[in-house]
Each structure stands twice: as C-alpha cells, then as structure tokens.
Amino acid sequence: MSIAAVTMVWNDAFFLRKWVAYYGPLLGARNLYVVSHGQNDYIRDIPGEFNVIQVPRDAGDIYFDRRRWGLLSHITSGLTRYHKAVICTDVDEILLPTKPGGSLTDIVENLAPDAHYLVPGFEVFPGSAQALLDPAKPVGNSVGCLLYSPFYSKAAIAQKDIEFYPGGHGIANEPFNVTQDLMLLHLKYLNTAELERRNSLRLKLANSDEMTADTGEKHWRPLKVWKNLDKTTQQAFQKLDTSADMDWEPFFTKACTDLDRLKGKRKGVYLIANKKTDPVRAELPDWARVLF
C-alpha cells in the first residue's frame, strides 16, 4: 500500500512549495493531501497533482488550533483506511532518514504495523544570520546546524485511528513508539525574510480585536505563543549560540535517549514532557543535505 502525507496551510506559499517538492517525488503527488484553511489562491500555482481540501476559516476563532488538529486527526485517521501509513506534520516540517542510504518510504513501510510513531525533532538553523533561501534551489545546502528539540519531536506517523494533541506534540488514544530511523526537521528559522513575514502575520492576528475580546469564558489560547514570537525567535538563536557542539552519531543517540526519558502521559495525553534539557547541536551530515 502507498504512504500519504497531510498538512494544513494558511498563508504558507513558501513552505508549501518546499513540502510538495520534497514529498511529491518520494510518495507520489496523488498521495499528498493539503488542507487549505480558507482560500489560498497560491496553491493553484504550485505544480503537482496533489489533493486540496478547502475548509472555511473564521478569523475570530480563538479555538482554531484545537479545531485544526481535530480536523487533521479525522483526516489522518480516515486516510489510514487507504494508505499503509500517513505522515502528518506542519508544512514547515519534513521527515528525513537518519542514516546514509536510508529511504523514507522503505523505513515507513517496515515500521511495526498497527502503531503510531514519534519522530525525534530538530530545529534547523541557517549557515548565516540573514539567510535568504532561493525557492528554486534545494534547501539542504543552506542548512547550518541542527539543535535538538524535545518540543518538536512529534507523533508524526499514523497507521490507524489517531487523535492528535494540538500541534502534533502528542496523541490521546494510546502510547507511541519512538523511531530512531527518522528525524523531523523544523525549517522555520531557515529563511530570515519568510520568518519575519510569518511572525508579523501571526502577531497581527494574535493581537486582533476578535482574538483578544473577553467573552466571559476561560479560553485555551495557543495565541499567547504567537504574541511573543519575536521573543521566542530571539531565545531560539540564543539557545543555539550557547549549545554544545557534538558529532552527528552521538548527537542523535543522545536525543533518542533523552526522548525515552521524557516520554509519558499527562491528563490522558501521551507526549514528550517539555522540560529544560542541556542544549546540544550538530552539523547536518553531507549525505542528508542532498535529500531535500
């Protein structure tokens, strides 16, 4: 059976192009599913016969992230009836093999069946402080180094019904396995101009009248993160600057060992505890740079 990939977008033209360009040749464009949150006309300009599902977008929906991941849970679960496995991540995240010669499709096809898998996550940083990626060129050569991130280690591969915790940071229905054959790369910080554009857009939304109105209820608001995006970005680069350098193999081994220590259950959700860890970084191996 085939492998599918699912993502959801809103004003994400740059990363959607990269996402389709990466997964299309590996999985087949017809096995890609892009959920458009509202009308995003740029999708029509991206080459490939991938599937598009458009859903309404309410600009004042303070529960949008919880609603979004509820929808992705249902879509991903449904697609497991038609595909061997379904990869579901944000559009600025991709999965890569962790060993030279590894194949994403072979690895996923050989996962133990009837299980969900969490993939070790890493923040990807550019080789220079003001990186500008050429949309027409591969991303890999612009990568400076990786910073291990328990927070971006996500339950990204489903093989049966799944209920994602918002952000894909955990699942509600049963424990996950941690695969050491794949890594999740979070590409958010790679393109300085795109990072500034996205931060500005999300900051404006988070501070809009609709999102800040007091409705008399106690709200769960992921938007509080968006209100501090500039600070979060600054902290990420500061963490990179103070992190210890490691060679690739011990770096990845440390990440997997750390995830085994941090995984657990909280309020019915299986996830990775978001605890402070000693920051470590490593150069992305050359064999991995040519993959994306």
Kindly report, residue by residue over 226-263, the tens digit of the pLDDT.
777 888 888 898 999 999 999 999 999 999 999 999 99
- Asked if residue 207 belongs to a domain, the reply is no
- Asked if residue 217 belongs to a domain, the reply is no
52: exposed, middle or buried (Cβ count in 10 Å: 0-12, 13-18, 19+): middle
- Asked if residue 245 belongs to a domain, the reply is yes
- Asked if residue 224 belongs to a domain, the reply is no
88, β-bridge pairs: 6
- Asked if residue 223 belongs to a domain, the reply is no
Closest CA to 249 of 282, 288, 290, 286: 282
- Asked if residue 262 belongs to a domain, the reply is yes
Name the residue range of residue 165's domain: 3-193+229-289
Asked whether residue 203 carries a pLDDT value surpassing 90, the answer given is no
- Asked if residue 274 belongs to a domain, the reply is yes
- Asked if residue 47 belongs to a domain, the reply is yes
pTM over 0.75: yes
Asked whether residue 188 carries a pLDDT value surpassing 80, the answer given is yes
Arithmetic mean of pLDDT, 106-132: 87
What is the separation of C-alpha 203 from the centre of its chain, rounded to a whole number of angstroms? 20
The one-letter amino acid at 289: R
Count of domains observed in the chain? 1
Beta strand 93-97 with 182-186 is antiparallel
The one-letter amino acid at 235: Q
